[in-house]
Structure 1
């Protein structure tokens, strides 16, 4: 069996880490010059991006807009940095890479920063929180951020909802999107599909085919929901007595949410009108079996 993973407990907790990334004052994005006092000004050539930065896409148009704002008002909200783990007298960005990139476009020589002695784990956690809290993330990036906070740091949906000011259902619904095919997720990243449209597609028999049709025809969410419930062409409905009852949308959504959070295939069998049912969890490797035993409180 695989060696057990140790649960990590941050001494300060999620809320304390969020204190650095919560918008205590207005930022440069809204044009209100009430800056948060930085610890220091750092030459821009002594600051480097974090290679583990969870956000990979930066819109050139939005960077240019922010650069214009920075030229006029400066950087109002400081970056959060830590001493570079490998380079003395240099710093690594924990939160604020977009501001740092825009500052380079604006040809600034130094940037305001809050210096924190975060370790690698804390640095990644704050970077994820900062992206979720501040940036105009696409739905896939937002969902991946929630998933990382849960899987890498052991946070529950309830804890995230409370700390991030989101509803638990919002977090669950966003994470469900990660179960869609890769091509559908690309439509989401590119803005060709909305999160609402993607949630409607999840329950379709062929999500990719429906997504392509929705994009090509510009279908509304209501139209997508109707098509997702319709039987595929060529299907002949079986007689009610011999056909297995179809699962309702809530059960399918719960299956996908549990599958996403556990990383394993979860199936729920529950007869309408009956309080009894079963939950089946399928593991593909012994490592997954170990993980399952830990989730259920077993000892292996």
Structure 2
């Protein structure tokens, strides 16, 4: 279908670009939905859509469907095998890319931006990415690439809704050399503001527990929604974790005390090592079931 863009203002330093079009069909006026809610839809792996008041962003687009060779990693995080094919176990939920306002990318590894995303996403969409990933996305044809380094921010606007995006550290490993070698990726503090108030989310990106992530609530204010990357990638490899496991997720939750946790980055792909049931068990043991929402791929949850 022909893509239609929103009247979206993207402010970075003194620059402003304005795409055009109309809001998505599942806007804040949907029946039975509070107008100030944040709609979270998990599409598998690190991929979500986050939408409030007609401003809809897509995170870490992995849009290819089920396959034994969904993508290739230069080196398998568990076995160390070179040029390792990684399976996608599940069908990709449908996504109308014409309803998107922008794309947020934590880093440009092959398990966070796939070939189908590079093929199918409109090349004029604003794309926010870790500073090191800008050139790769421009080479893929995207023309409105907005690199952010840690501590930098920009604002998206749609009508009366604005979304402030702050890039925060996402340490990819506890091992210092591996963390360096894997590159400097981002997590993001995302704050939606409109006449009804504000709502803040922390999307961790591919991050292990660190001092910076523990202190984010103190620095940026109350976190309403935590979107942690799980899967314990690399936990059975020689250099250890590359994303959080259940234990680290529970520790982070205790430290920043979000109102709601929606775990992502689990189940979908073959290099994920810890099943989500490990976190479900820890949540039950801690009596924290009301704080956590475990979504199926394609499922949505409205955060008020």
Shorter-normalised TM-score: what interval? under 0.3
Q: Could you tell me the TM-score, scaled by structure 1's length?
A: 0.22
Q: Which has the higher contact order (CA 8 A, sep 6+)?
A: 2
| Structure 1 or 2: more helix by fraction | 1
Which is greater in Rg?
1
Query: What is the TM-score normalised by the length of structure 2?
Result: 0.22
Higher strand share: 2
